[in-house]
Homo-oligomer: A and B are copies of this chain.
Amino acid sequence: MKKTDVVVLGGLSGITAGLSCRRHYPEKKVILIRKEGTILIPCGIPYIFGTVGGPENNVIPDGLLEKNGIELITDEAVDLDREKRIVTLKNQEPIQYEKLVFATGSLPLIPPIPGIDKKNVFPVKKEFDYLKEVLKKVDEAKDIVIIGGGFIGIEFADECRKNRNVNVTVVEMLDKCLQLALDDEYCDEARVKLEETGVKILTDEKVVSLNGKDAVESVQLASGKEIKADLVILGIGCLPNSQLAEKAGLELGFRKGIKVDRLMRSYTDKNIFACGDCCTKESFFDGKPSGVMLASIATSEARIAGANLFSPVHHSCGVISVFATVINGRAFAVAGLTERTARENGTNVVIGEAAATDTHPGGMPDSTMLKVKLIFAKSTGILLGGAISGGKSTGEMVNVLSACILHRMTANDIVMFQMGTHPALTSSPIAYPIVNAACKAVLDIQGYR
């Protein structure tokens, strides 16, 4: 039997957990076990179908593992004896560990719709060969239907239209696409951008069956509509991949995620940690369970887990949820709460909004109009969330908001925010929209004068 200090099970966040462990405990031996020989950048998966051209261009290189002395074993962990601290593999010898990290990610939700098992119906699995096959099918398809208008569904729709003469229809159950992520006005802006690419969007529509002989031929909606489809992509979300953990008797929490504390240590076993999509998360704002699944959160948790394995160092403060997407060249990003989620919480909010070009003067090359919306708590002035749409700088601007939220900056603080500006890179200092949005809100904060 093989022996090691640390076993990490899993993909993306497994790499980060391993690196973090080796950085903090260079004397410890780390083995990373995963089923897939080659693993993919998860957020890059939609871009396989357009911009980057194939899964081979979206691979996470393993050089970092080797360089940092982490052994990689390509195999499937099929059993876990927590008492003896032994992981059983499908093909190779078992491994005894001192500490174990679950970084097993998530598996796509397969809705119980009649016909879901027909040919050419594809959930978004994060597997190289599988996605190579899906890409081939997408290239041959004439009528693609995407079920689910969240980020994954929308990004797939946008990418599938690139350089292809194919009909793409998105079917979304809610009133608007991206409704769980963005406020209404941003959902509407995103819809316009996506429709400009020729993608058809059906909202407030429920899929009742997938029809066809062997292979899917159409998608039947509850409204009575039937949409032609020779390929269906399921983008309706994921669930924690926690089967092995459950089998090993670890306590599961919200949506069957492995229950972890703020050290990323499992509730059940002090030698077992977890990070990423496979484990539970708490909201930064109210401590309640959060179902958000993001690669960025996964790696953040992995840094915490890896550092804490042999002695607690880092404590998670809960999940803010910061993300960005690009639809037909326009970026949309959110940090923290939307106005909708804040109001649903019962929070009395003050909204500040501003717009400006992302260069100055606006006549600089590639100038794009930025829109910023900030959501503050009326009682305290603390920033609860913000949304931005704009150009390439949007992705880092939303990280400015993340820093402001993490440190509970108030509207007053943000009015005085010391941003750097440059003609080619940012809005003008007069117009800088994060600050100007706060300027508009600050007077409405309770007790401000």
Contacts and interface: CB of A to CB of B under 8 A. Distances in A.
Contacts of A59: 361
Q: From A23, A363, A395, A428, name the one whose CB has the most chain B CB atoms within 10 angstroms.
A: A395
A449 B394 CA distance: 37
A412 B300 CA distance: 12
Interface stretch (A39-47, A128-136, A188-196, A266-274): A39-47
B361 A311 contact: no
A51 B333 CA distance: 29
Nearest to A366: B392
B421 A296 contact: yes
Contact of A396 (B51, B407, B425, B435): B425
Interface stretch (A112-120, A167-175, A323-331): A323-331
A297 B335 CA distance: 26
Counting every copy of the chain, the complex holds 2
A44 B367 CA distance: 14
Contacts of A51: 364-365, 423-424
B395 A420 contact: yes
Q: From A295, A402, A430, name the one whose CB has the most chain B CB atoms within 10 angstroms.
A: A430
Contacts of A365: 51
A44 B296 contact: no
A299 interface: yes
A296 B403 contact: no
Contact of A322 (B412, B420, B440): B420
Contacts of A360: 41, 43-44
A277 to B, nearest CB: 12
A304 interface: yes
Nearest to A333: B420
A360 B295 CA distance: 12
Contacts of A15: 430
A443 interface: yes
A439 B424 CA distance: 30
Contacts of A413: 406
Given A303-B439, A316-B416, A364-B52, A43 B400 contact: no
Interface string A3-35: 000000000100110001001100000000000
A292 to B, nearest CB: 11
A298 interface: yes
A243 interface: no
Contacts of A297: 418
A89 interface: no
A9 to B, nearest CB: 17
Contacts of A430: 12, 15-16, 60, 64, 299
A415 interface: yes
Nearest to A324: B422
Contacts of A78: none
B420 A58 contact: no
A393 interface: yes
B361 A420 contact: no
A319 B393 contact: no
Given A41-B428, A43-B423, 6 more contacts: A23-B440, A43-B421, A57-B361, A57-B363, A313-B412, A316-B416
25 contacts: A12-B429, A24-B443, A43-B423, A52-B361, A52-B423, A296-B429, A300-B418, A300-B429, A307-B415, A313-B449, A314-B412, A314-B415, A320-B418, A322-B420, A324-B422, A326-B422, A326-B424, A366-B392, A392-B425, A393-B396, A395-B425, A396-B426, A399-B400, A399-B426, A407-B407
